[in-house]
Chain A
């Protein structure tokens, strides 16, 4: 019944389609790699990606991971999840070895179960990026503050640029998303947020500058219907993280594969398509600014929670009660 409906085209959430597509690809990929390393018959390296950042550039990312797999001589299994929270849960349980997660999930995972940094992409000479505030092209809003009382889109509850940064700035203004906006939604992807703004579903959204720029360069269908009214100061870029339990030799081999990508032609091609200069290694302290923001928001939330009941983490927020 369900598949019949899919074929008819009545119901087919894009997310589902991508999800099924990604799964199919994963199986195919595994089969390829399995054939290649049939003699080794090792356990594959499982690399997790979330919808938040990669969904719409899956093909590019698949190339990247395949490249890494070839470099380290191991089959690679791609694991896709919708949210950072799910990805972090899987990392904690050992169901994923390496993952591309945002800085807040890394910080939380580092604290909780010793999640380690692997590498971080360097964009335009710096492993930094911005959080854009994006509004429809015809919007009258000129600053983030103008969006008071409007409907807003965040990408993922644990996203830095898509949630933490705007929440931090609201907290500094003594506001929370619940008090500031009429309501907000989670789009689960920066790309979706751009679309939500473009079609007028929401009045504004916080979007990862890397995603917006990449989308604007490769497929400007939605970006051209939006405009950036606010660029919040640069933050440390989203890192690849690795489970603490992974064999250190393998850890270094994987890291090496990433770090040396820019020194061979195939790697450079993939990097340039992803608009990444190269991968670099950074210390944990590199993410201290994010930690500070997290703590600031957490403190203000605790203060707020003392009055009414605080929002639950992990599920989409309900809009402000009216």
Chain B
């Protein structure tokens, strides 16, 4: 039968059908074996009876012809037996013969082979037949066509004297054919019964398996996440119990799934709104999750990075580094020290960041890696600025030294040249040369003065100063230049602007440099707008401050100067505060450097915004601290200083 494991894997329907069919086949085959055996016996005995009957008739009719050796008559009798009256009936007679008392053939159905008056072949069958005293039936196992034959021998007696023997061979062919037919019919009936058995099996098991199938569908639904479904409780019994158990399971699963989803959400929001950009990588380095911070800083949406490698956002030069760290983390679960890298944002910017990897374990194995990216743009900028300041002050000291040394000789050259000019009043070549020398010396002197301004130690003469007034006087000094360039100046000055504690001369330098640059940027005319404003600080800045403030809160004085000039290109905007950066042919590139130094010396901050071709706006913020009744002198110094460091 079927191998056990196939049977075990079969569906119930198949099993039941198989069992039913097996039973049917078993019963049918045992019955049919019995029937066929009985039928065979019956048919065989019938055949023998018919053979005997034919032999008896032949022997009765043969008495006289045998006595008279009427060969022709005997041949006629045999011919009739062989031919049979009805051609459609099955002729069971394979052969017939009449033998005389000596065992010679008197007539045979095959006269050519068995000649008249010839003895038969000597064999036990023929001898047994010849010796028979009554009906003798022997079985010949082979004849020409391969069918079994019953040889019926019957002696011919006349008055108890044996005068010959009649022999008739009847073939089993029709018995075998009939048995074959019966077997075929039984197989057919068994087949039909078997089919009916299968149908019955299908119907019967259908009743049982329908609820089971429902359950299966239900469980499949659960695996595909449809937890809200329930099955209707089928009537009591095992299936009913099973169904309610499944329903309970679904309810529990649903609850648990919700809980998990809730904790997942909590975790997710922690993850998303952490200070750092965070990403989760699988062991192969593919992105599993990305938090919101990343999206804000680097610009990629989570969907854009999922399944990608981190190299998408990493410049090529950091790949080796990153892979090393990643390997260390994933293979050895080692905490690698924080490294500084740069990340390419979606819009192509390079963002300096701190990189930290944390292995997430399941048991001893690191299954994923959490990546922390901390934006350090501000720190980097600060570092850069500090570095710049340091470099500038070094340069300043050096240049200051030179300037100091250069000034006295310059004065002497100027004096000398002047004296020579006075002494030789002709207007010849010599006088022209002396003029040139003087002009050069004046230019050189200005350069040296500016250099000294820039490099020199910034010593502020602070005083209560009205910024508005300073602006007024600065503009007054520059009126001529402004008119020449047809620049229209608008002033929006805050009349409530508190008097700031600044160096008035230095602030004039600041404004004049900025305004001059603006006028120079508008050679064909334009508009210059100057706005002053005061912004009180947020409340928490009062902390640590006690005493009266004369109604004015500490805050920031804001001065903005905007023009409609050429503007500054994007690539230049970062450089304008660098020493010797200039785009003008006659410029030195120290104007804004000085501006920057003065503002910073005041603890203020200067910003520039510009759009090329549309003009630019300089914003100056100066800290304002009202006069207090201080409890402690130290605090006074600390507060503004901190501000200046921050910006």
Contact = CB atoms under 8 A, between A and B. Distances in A.
Interface of A: 5-15, 151, 153, 182-183, 185-188, 192, 196, 199-202, 315-316, 318-319
Given A201-B71, A315-B68, A319-B69, A11 B115 contact: no
A196 B73 CA distance: 11
Nearest to A320: B117
A147 B61 CA distance: 32
Most A C-beta atoms less than 10 A away, residue of B61, B73, B86? B73
A13 B73 contact: yes
A28 to B, nearest CB: 23
Contacts of B111: 199-201
Contact of A201 (B54, B69, B75): B75
Given A200-B112, A318-B69, A319-B117, A8 B80 contact: no
Given A9-B84, A11-B61, A12-B85, A151 B115 contact: yes
Given A10-B85, A201-B72, 10 more contacts: A8-B85, A9-B80, A9-B85, A14-B79, A151-B115, A183-B116, A188-B72, A196-B72, A201-B116, A202-B116
B319 to A, nearest CB: 107
Q: Which 6 A-B pairs have the closest CB atoms?
A: A9-B85, A200-B112, A185-B71, A201-B111, A13-B76, A187-B72
B58 A9 contact: no
A196 B111 CA distance: 9
B465 to A, nearest CB: 156
Most buried by A among B57, B71, B86: B71
Given A15-B76, A319-B117, A10 B68 contact: no
A42 B13 CA distance: 96
Interface string B47-77: 0000001100110010000001111110111
A199 B112 contact: yes
A274 B582 CA distance: 155
Nearest to B168: A10
Given A185-B116, A201-B116, A319-B117, A11 B73 contact: no
B77 A153 contact: no
A11 B72 CA distance: 15
Nearest to B62: A11
Nearest to B106: A185
B117 A196 contact: no
Contacts of B89: 9
A305 B72 CA distance: 27
A316 B80 contact: no
Interface residues of B, number: 28
Given A202-B116, A316-B70, A14 B76 contact: yes
A29 B223 CA distance: 105
Contact of A183 (B58, B83, B117): B117
A9 B69 contact: no
Of A9, A10, A153, the most chain B CB neighbours within 10 A belong to A10
Nearest to B58: A11
B84 A192 contact: no
B81 interface: yes
A8 B56 CA distance: 14
Nearest to B108: A201
B97 to A, nearest CB: 12
Nearest to A188: B72
B75 A10 contact: no
A215 B57 CA distance: 32
A30 B117 CA distance: 44
Contacts of A200: 111-112
A9 B86 contact: yes
Contacts of A182: 117
5 contacts: A13-B61, A13-B76, A188-B72, A200-B112, A201-B116
Contact of A10 (B70, B71, B81, B117): B81
Nearest to B116: A151
Nearest to A203: B115
A201 B110 CA distance: 9
Nearest to A150: B115
Contacts of A12: 80, 85
Contact of A11 (B57, B75, B107, B117): B57
Contacts of A199: 75, 111-112
Given A151-B115, A199-B111, A200-B111, A10 B54 contact: yes
Contacts of B68: 315-316
B82 to A, nearest CB: 10
